């Protein structure tokens, strides 16, 4: 008999979500799922297919901004055997690319983000009092979602996830964070892998409940937290957390903070815990593997793998052997792979890993993030953290220009660039502060002042967007060479 997993491990009468009209029980959620699944079945019959070809298995592009609506759409797609596509962002360009590169698609939406040229179905969960439906069970080996990388360093790539592994994923994270019974407010989109795992999966298979919205501004985050009962949990990013602290608002009492998507500075972790009165944990992972480890930075800089996940870190000898047997077969020492637990297959990580004797590990920067200038090495993430730590700097990042050649630099020595948001500072002040913190060979040239960095909904920066801000200088920018 084929193994199956329930859509959720919640009891029928337990609260699974909090919406504008109040609490939603699991039985009500299942009723909403089955109603939408019936509509999906009708849509699937009329889905276009190539002339002379059998009907295609349709996919679902779930662009619902309402997190409960997204979760209903996910459940309905699973019931109908449809794969849910999860782009890292919902910009028109990304949605158009998906529509062009995939076959038969149906866009589940709630009116706020539509995929142009793709047949749509409006998701409007009702969760009426007294509604109930039995819990659907889904084959564990069913392809459930295809998640896309953010494209922060190149073209987004697709990664398939199966239902059984996703169930284990949510359960493992919830067990590590003791999330059962907590109400989750998340600032991260449900379509993003971190937001999906740490709100939707921890709700469906970790015993938590989720708030339906996605607050962005500090006042909205505070209001969302106040609208759900304790114990409550804020799932956010360093970008959103930093903005909240800068707003000087006093948040409602919180019981747990969770951060991911970017390196967290220890000072920000300390201020976050003090302001919210709650422990702050971080999740480490990537779209390819899903989440694989956690830590609480204020207590320990080392990461601990989630249950069942195993890691292999390449030794210097192994790296040397690979280098001798052929180019491109392995990265430099520190290359690592993970497998086991909810990780599907054997996944290579992009980060330099330093293993510790007790099985934990430290992150030493991304392989693609490392730069070597005049024989000295540094991580762009580390340099960016030093830039953002300067008093008066509200945001900033280092990057390697696409064309580092400089007429004034005939030797061809690589020069880094930096973008900075610092309304009250000038270039001399920023450069002086950087000289106190980093080696002079890494001082940026150019240093470009901008009004804001082009961060996406998860607070990430896409390299192509950053490159467009470099010289020639555009209006409202100041530059020094």
Secondary-structure class of domain 374-480 per CATH: alpha beta
In this prediction, residue 414 carries a pLDDT of: 64
Strands 447-449 and 417-421: parallel
Average pLDDT over residues 269-284: 96
Average pLDDT over residues 350-375: 79
Average pLDDT over residues 259-282: 92
Domain locations along the chain: 4-46+53-295, 308-369, 374-480
- C-beta atoms surrounding 367 within 10 Å: 15
pLDDT value at 408 more than 60: no
Q: Which of 16-30, 47-61, 77-91, 394-408 has the highest mean pLDDT?
A: 16-30
Mean pLDDT across the chain:
84
In this prediction, residue 57 carries a pLDDT of: 58
- C-beta atoms surrounding 139 within 10 Å: 16
Cis peptide before 368 (omega within 30 of 0): no
In this prediction, residue 332 carries a pLDDT of: 46
Per-residue pLDDT reduced to its tens digit, 317-344:
555 554 433 333 333 446 899 999 999 9
In this prediction, residue 195 carries a pLDDT of: 93
In this prediction, residue 154 carries a pLDDT of: 52
Q: What is the CA radius of gyration of the chain?
A: 23
In this prediction, residue 220 carries a pLDDT of: 97
Q: Using pLDDT thresholds of 50, 70 and 90, give the confidence band for residue 184.
A: very high
In this prediction, residue 54 carries a pLDDT of: 45
Average pLDDT over residues 170-174: 97
Q: How far apart are CA 335 and CA 50, in angstroms?
A: 44
Q: Say which residue, 259 or 478, is predicted with more confidence.
A: 259
- Is 430 within 8 Å of 390 (Cβ atoms)? yes
pLDDT value at 186 more than 90: yes
In this prediction, residue 45 carries a pLDDT of: 47
Q: Which of 33-42, 45-54, 136-145, 231-240 has the lowest mean pLDDT?
A: 45-54
pLDDT value at 441 more than 90: no
Q: Using pLDDT thresholds of 50, 70 and 90, give the confidence band for residue 69.
A: very high
SS (H, E, C) the chain: CCCEEECCCCCCCCEEEEECCEEEEHHHHHHHHHHHHHHHHHHHHCCCCCCCCCCCCCEEEECCCCHHHHHHHHHHHHHHCCEEEECCCCCHHHHHHHHHHCCCEEEEECCCCCCCCCCEEECCCCCCCCCCCCCCEEECCCEEEEEECCCCCCCCCEEEEEHHHHHHHHHHHHHHHCCCCCEEEECCCCCCHHHHHHHHHHHHHHCCEEECCCCCCHHHHHHHHHCCCCCEEEEECHHHHHHHHHHCCCCCCCCEEEECCCCCCHHHHHHHHHHHCCCEEEEEEECCCEEEEEECCCCCCCEEECCCCEEEECCHHHHHHHHHHCCCCCCCCCCEEEEECCEEEEEECCEEEEECCCCCEEEEEEHHHEEEECCEEEEHHHHHHHHHCCCCCCEEEEECCCCCCCCCCCCCCCCCEEEEECCCCCHHHHHHHHHHHCCHHHCCCCEEECCCCCECCCCCECHHHHHCCCCCCCCCCEEEC
Share above pLDDT 90 across residues of the chain, in percent, rounded to a whole number: 56
Average pLDDT over residues 391-411: 68
pLDDT value at 403 more than 70: no
In this prediction, residue 409 carries a pLDDT of: 41
In this prediction, residue 53 carries a pLDDT of: 47
Q: How far is CA 164 from CA 77, 209, 239, 277, 381, in A?
A: 15, 20, 32, 36, 35
In this prediction, residue 374 carries a pLDDT of: 54
This prediction's pTM: 0.78
Q: Which of 66-70, 122-126, 401-405, 458-462 has the highest mean pLDDT?
A: 66-70
Bridge partners (DSSP) of residue 106 are 60
Average pLDDT over residues 417-441: 90
Per-residue pLDDT reduced to its tens digit, 205-226:
999 999 999 999 999 999 999 9
Q: Say which residue, 58 or 397, is predicted with more confidence.
A: 397
pLDDT value at 388 more than 60: yes
In this prediction, residue 360 carries a pLDDT of: 93
Q: Using pLDDT thresholds of 50, 70 and 90, give the confidence band for residue 356.
A: very high
Average pLDDT over residues 53-64: 72
Cis peptide before 199 (omega within 30 of 0): no
In this prediction, residue 344 carries a pLDDT of: 95
Q: Say which residue, 169 or 375, is predicted with more confidence.
A: 169
pLDDT value at 174 more than 90: yes
**CATH homologous superfamily, domain 4-46+53-295:** ANL, N-terminal domain (3.40.50.12780)
Q: How far apart are CA 201 and CA 162, in angstroms?
A: 13
């Amino acid at each position: 008999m084929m193994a199956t997993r329930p859509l959720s491990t919640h009891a029928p009468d337990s609260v699974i979500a909090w919406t504008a009209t109040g609490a939603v029980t699991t039985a009500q959620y299942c009723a909403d799922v089955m109603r939408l699944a019936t509509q999906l079945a009708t849509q699937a019959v009329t889905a276009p297919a190539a002339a002379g070809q059998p009907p295609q298995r349709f996919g679902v592009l779930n662009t619902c901004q309402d997190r409960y609506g997204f979760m209903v759409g996910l459940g309905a797609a699973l019931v109908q055997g449809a794969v849910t596509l999860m782009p890292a962002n919902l910009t028109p360009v990304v949605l158009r690319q998906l529509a062009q590169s995939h076959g038969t698609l149906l866009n589940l939406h709630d009116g706020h983000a539509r995929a142009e040229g793709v047949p749509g179905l409006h998701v409007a969960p009702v969760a009426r009092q007294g509604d109930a439906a039995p819990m659907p069970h889904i084959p564990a080996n069913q392809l459930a979602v295809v998640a896309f990388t953010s494209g922060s360093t190149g073209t987004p790539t697709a990664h398939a996830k199966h239902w059984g592994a996703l169930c284990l994923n949510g359960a493992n994270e919830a067990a590590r964070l003791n999330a059962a019974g907590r109400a989750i407010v998340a600032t991260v989109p449900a379509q993003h892998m971190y937001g999906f795992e740490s709100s939707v999966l921890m709700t469906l298979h970790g015993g938590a409940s989720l708030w339906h919205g996605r607050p962005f501004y500090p006042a909205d985050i505070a209001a969302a937290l106040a609208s759900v009962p304790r114990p409550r949990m804020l799932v956010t990013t360093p970008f959103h957390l930093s903005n909240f602290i800068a707003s000087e608002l006093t948040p409602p009492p919180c019981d747990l903070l969770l951060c991911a998507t970017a390196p967290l500075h220890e000072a920000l972790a300390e201020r976050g815990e003090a302001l919210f009165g709650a422990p702050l944990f971080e999740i480490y992972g990537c779209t390819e593997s899903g989440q694989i480890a956690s830590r609480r930075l204020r207590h320990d800089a080392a990461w601990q793998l989630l249950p069942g996940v195993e890691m292999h870190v390449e030794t210097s000898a192994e790296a040397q052997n690979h280098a001798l047997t052929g180019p491109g077969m392995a990265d430099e020492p520190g290359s690592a792979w993970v497998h086991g637990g909810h990780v599907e297959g054997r996944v290579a990580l992009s980060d330099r890993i330093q293993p510790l004797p007790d099985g934990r590990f430290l992150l030493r920067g991304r392989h693609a993030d490392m730069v070597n200038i005049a024989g000295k090495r540094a991580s762009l993430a580390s340099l960016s953290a030093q830039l953002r730590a300067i008093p008066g700097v509200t945001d900033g990042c280092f990057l390697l220009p696409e064309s580092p050649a400089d007429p004034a630099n005939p030797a061809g020595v690589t020069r880094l660039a930096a973008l900075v948001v610092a309304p009250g500072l000038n270039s001399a002040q920023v450069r002086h502060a950087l000289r106190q913190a980093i080696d002079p060979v890494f001082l940026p040239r150019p240093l470009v002042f901008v009004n804001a960095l082009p961060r996406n909904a998860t607070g990430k920066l896409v390299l192509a967007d950053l490159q467009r801000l470099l010289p020639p200088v555009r209006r409202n920018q100041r530059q020094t060479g």
